[in-house]
Amino acid sequence: MSVNEDSTGVLLAARRRLISPSLTLSYRQPLHIVRGTMQYLFDQTGRRYLDGYNNVPHVGHCHPEVVSAATKQMALLNTNTRYLHETLEQYAESLTSTLPEPLRMCFFVNSGSEANELALRLARVHTQSTDLIVLNGAYHGNTTTLTHISPYKADGLESGRPSWVHIVALPDVYRGEHKSDDPRAGEKYAQPVGECIAQLESQRKGLCGYIAESCPSVGGQLLFPEGYLAAVYAKVRGAGGVCIADEVQTAYGRLGEYFYGFEQQRVVPDIVVLGKPIGNGYPIGAVVTTAEIARSFDNGQEFFSTFGGSTVSCTVGAAVLEIVNQDRLQTHAKKVGSHLLAGLRSLIDRYSLIGDVRGSGFFLGVELVRNRDTLEPAAQEATDVVNRMRDTGVLIGTDGPFHNVLKIRPPMPFNAEDADALVTCLDDALARSEIS
């Protein structure tokens, strides 16, 4: 056994002794990662891995401009929002300029979970109601409240789902009731939202709002059918509710065609939630809402986050946004993502295991099934493919309600050569799956 292998074994033993087993590791043979740069990760032996699914380092692992901005500001001042400092207002100005009117009021926190918690508080205060509509298969964060509104996690809770949480069908045009060839699929998937609202009204209950990832990620890397959010938002607003767009996975040009996922649906939310990618790995989250909702929240009870909106976090956030714009990463994601999507789709006719290939830009999913007619999920096969690709040096993951969707969400510097390498690696892994 080599020194490097031995060090990994020591780390695993220490982790089992010190870290809860509920915090899981990726891959059957866990990776000991010691360094990252842009779209690549390196293990303790120096071996390079192509990162095909870590969307947190949005502009690239350890991007030198982000690192430089953070260290310079940290050496100068790192303090909170009780003091005036230019970085807060300048970052808020830059951030809101990427969003449509009337989304102009910012709150800064430390994570997507905190941002979704705050969004829910804003909606409740503004509407004076509690009942919330969520999508089946959704995930919005790791707090107690957010776990309750995340069916992806809440289904396993012993305490059950609170009565104020109302789940409607996930608009999945591959696996769901209404398919992609139905031009009215979006409208039909919105109908359960209207039915839920009608039931609440019959019980004399008000509606707090509706929350959804603009493109469901853990739900299976899905894009909503055309017209879905427009129909939903109209129903929710008609009932006095607030529309919340969770953009933690899809913001800042990841979809290629759009800077934010909700733009694909041609709607404007009342509250937008942003998280981890906007800080490129530095802990930061943001909530952007309307002046009207912000006024409702300004009710005498101060909102304060010790680290949210700090000089360092705002400096990092501004640097990430500047890189996205100056390097034209949205255009890059559109071009390379289209190339990657075409490469993935070229495998469909060769492997019956592939049921669907979907997505946009660098937000892509490959759903594996054992039978294209019954759509029996191929969860074990998906796990095997991901582990075979890991052994070859390409990292992707699995997601979806049945854990059978290969998720591909690389850092934005991911290039055409990387895309070809990923497709070749997937091709090989699928071929080995069919042999075995």
Comma-separated ranges of CATH 3.90.1150.10 domains in the chain: 3-59+328-435
Q: What is the pLDDT of residue 8?
A: 81
Give the list of residues 6+ apart from residue 328 with CB closer than 8 angstroms, or none: none
Q: What is the pLDDT of residue 22?
A: 85
Across the chain, mean pLDDT equals: 94
Candidate from 52-56, 107-111, 145-149, 428-432 with smallest mean pLDDT: 145-149
CA 95, chain centre distance (Å)? 18
Q: What is the pLDDT of residue 3?
A: 46
The predicted-structure confidence for 10-64, as pLDDT tens digits, reads as follows 888 899 899 988 888 899 999 999 999 999 999 999 999 999 999 999 999 999 9
Question: What is the arithmetic mean of pLDDT over 109-132?
Answer: 97
Q: What is the pLDDT of residue 435?
A: 65
Q: What is the pLDDT of residue 280?
A: 97
Residue 24 to residue 27: CA distance in whole angstroms:
10
Nearest to 63 by CA among 323, 311, 317: 323
Contact assessment for residue 396 and residue 317, using Cβ atoms and an 8 Å cutoff: no
Candidate from 125-129, 160-164, 199-203 with smallest mean pLDDT: 160-164
Q: What is the pLDDT of residue 156?
A: 55
Dihedral sign, Cα of residue 298, residue 132, residue 284, residue 322: negative
Joined together, the tokens standing for residue 277 give: 């990618």
Contact assessment for residue 145 and residue 303, using Cβ atoms and an 8 Å cutoff: no
Residue 1 has pLDDT above 60, yes or no: no
Residue 161 has pLDDT above 60, yes or no: yes
User: Which is more confidently placed, 263 or 19?
Assistant: 263
Contact assessment for residue 288 and residue 278, using Cβ atoms and an 8 Å cutoff: no
The predicted-structure confidence for 373-402, as pLDDT tens digits, reads as follows 999 999 999 999 999 999 999 999 999 999
Contact assessment for residue 109 and residue 317, using Cβ atoms and an 8 Å cutoff: no
The predicted-structure confidence for 51-101, as pLDDT tens digits, reads as follows 999 999 999 999 999 999 999 999 999 999 999 999 999 999 999 999 999
Q: What is the pLDDT of residue 155?
A: 63
The architecture CATH gives domain 64-326? 3-Layer(aba) Sandwich (3.40)
* Residue 207 confidence class, pLDDT cut points 50, 70, 90: very high
Q: How does strand 33-37 pair with strand 40-43? A: antiparallel
Question: What is the arithmetic mean of pLDDT over 343-361?
Answer: 97
Q: What is the pLDDT of residue 301?
A: 82
Joined together, the tokens standing for residue 215 give: 């493109």
Residue 424 to residue 130: CA distance in whole angstroms:
49
Q: 199-238: b or e for each residue (b if 16 or more CB lie within 10 Å)? A: ebeeeeeebbbbbbbbbbbbbbbbbbbbbbbebbbebbee
Q: What is the pLDDT of residue 168?
A: 96
Q: What is the pLDDT of residue 244?
A: 98
Question: What is the arithmetic mean of pLDDT over 255-270?
Answer: 98
Share of the chain above pLDDT 90, in %: 87
Question: What is the arithmetic mean of pLDDT over 340-357?
Answer: 97
The predicted-structure confidence for 269-324, as pLDDT tens digits, reads as follows 999 999 989 999 999 999 999 999 999 999 888 889 999 999 999 999 999 999 99
Q: What is the pLDDT of residue 152?
A: 81
* Residue 230 confidence class, pLDDT cut points 50, 70, 90: very high
Dihedral over alpha carbons 105, 108, 109, 114 (to 10 degrees): 20
Per residue, what are the HEC states of 58-118? CCCECCHHHHHHHHHHHHHCCCCCCCCCHHHHHHHHHHHCCCCCCCCEEEEECCHHHHHHH
Q: 289-324: b or e for each residue (b if 16 or more CB lie within 10 Å)? A: bbeebbebbeeeeeeebebbbbbbbbbbbbbbbebb
CA 331, chain centre distance (Å)? 20
Q: What is the pTM of this model?
A: 0.95
Question: What is the arithmetic mean of pLDDT over 337-364?
Answer: 97
Q: What is the pLDDT of residue 154?
A: 63
Quickly count: other Cβ atoms within 10 Å of residue 89's Cβ: 12
Comma-separated ranges of CATH 3.40.640.10 domains in the chain: 64-326
Q: Which CATH number fits domain 3-59+328-435: 1.10.760.10, 3.40.50.720, 3.90.1150.10, 3.30.1330.10?
A: 3.90.1150.10
Candidate from 21-25, 200-204, 223-227, 260-264 with smallest mean pLDDT: 21-25
